[in-house]
């Protein structure tokens, strides 16, 4: 499977989520016969982040977010999409990076087989599409992608790739996050590569009206 550079180790992920999220841009993520160059991420920081699933504490669903670093947190949303998050930081403090978008650099046929007849640039545009192209499903959540001996074996691999210089990285509010966690001034925790066509379009969160 393609992907350049050494496999990224646990020390890379055992840092604050706001350091890891931009540092993942340009790295190579491989799973299920497909490799992508990561072009867009979002950071989520547990009990200090109203936009995080773990804001109100641990649940059976969010347990993987509480660490240790280097594990998968995958969740199902909108009734038909899996989303891929990479757990970061100190064990016991929930934090993870949502991988939002990427450019397929290897395994094009496998990605197309999962995604269908869409333009190449859209194969991994958006986190649901990316997870589908990579073949990420329920079974992956809670798996260790750094050193399998610490958890369930996982063939997801992050490799060094070519880190993106800060001059190419842009930030902004997270996509579709409503309420306090959607405040771009307070939480500009979306990171993406300038001018990269695989990056997903921004849309603000929509608050739900109680009935």
Domain ranges within the chain, ordered by starting residue: 10-193
* DSSP label of 71: B
What interhelical angle do 127-134 and 108-115 show, nearest 10? Answer: 120
**177 has a pLDDT exceeding 90:** no
Q: What is the CATH number of domain 10-193?
A: 3.10.300.10
- Average pLDDT score over residue span 120-145: 94
**79 has a pLDDT exceeding 80:** no
pTM attached to this predicted model: 0.90
Least confident of 44-53, 96-105, 154-163, 168-177: 44-53
Residues 6+ apart with CB under 8 A from 69: 10, 13, 14, 15, 87, 88, 89, 90, 91, 146
Mean pLDDT across the chain, nearest whole number?
A: 88
Share of the chain above pLDDT 90, in %: 64
User: 189 is written with which tokens?
Assistant: 């925790």
pLDDT band at 19; cut points 50, 70, 90: very high
Least confident of 21-25, 66-70, 129-133, 174-178: 174-178
User: 25 is written with which tokens?
Assistant: 């841009």
Residue 144's alpha-carbon distances to 46, 54, 175, 179, in angstroms, are: 20, 19, 27, 32
């Amino acid at each position: 499977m393609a992907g350049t550079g050494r496999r990224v180790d646990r020390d890379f992920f055992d840092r604050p989520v706001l350091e890891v999220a931009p540092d993942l841009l340009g790295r190579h993520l491989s799973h299920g016969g497909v490799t992508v160059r990561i072009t867009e991420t979002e950071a989520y920081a547990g009990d200090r982040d109203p936009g995080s699933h773990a804001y109100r504490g641990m649940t059976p669903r969010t347990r993987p977010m509480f660490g240790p670093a280097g594990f998968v947190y995958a969740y199902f949303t909108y009734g038909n999409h899996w989303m891929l998050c990479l757990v970061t930081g100190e064990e016991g403090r929930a934090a993870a990076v949502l991988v939002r978008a990427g450019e397929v650099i290897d395994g094009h046929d496998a990605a197309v087989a999962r995604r269908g007849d869409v333009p190449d640039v859209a194969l991994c545009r958006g986190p649901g599409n990316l997870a589908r192209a990579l073949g990420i499903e329920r079974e992956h959540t809670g798996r260790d992608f750094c050193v399998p001996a610490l958890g369930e074996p996982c063939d997801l691999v992050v490799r060094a790739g070519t880190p993106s210089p800060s001059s190419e990285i842009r930030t902004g509010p997270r996509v579709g996050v409503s309420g306090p966690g959607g405040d771009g001034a307070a939480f500009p925790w979306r990171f993406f590569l300038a001018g990269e066509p695989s990056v997903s379009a921004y849309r603000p969160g929509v608050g739900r009206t109680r009935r």
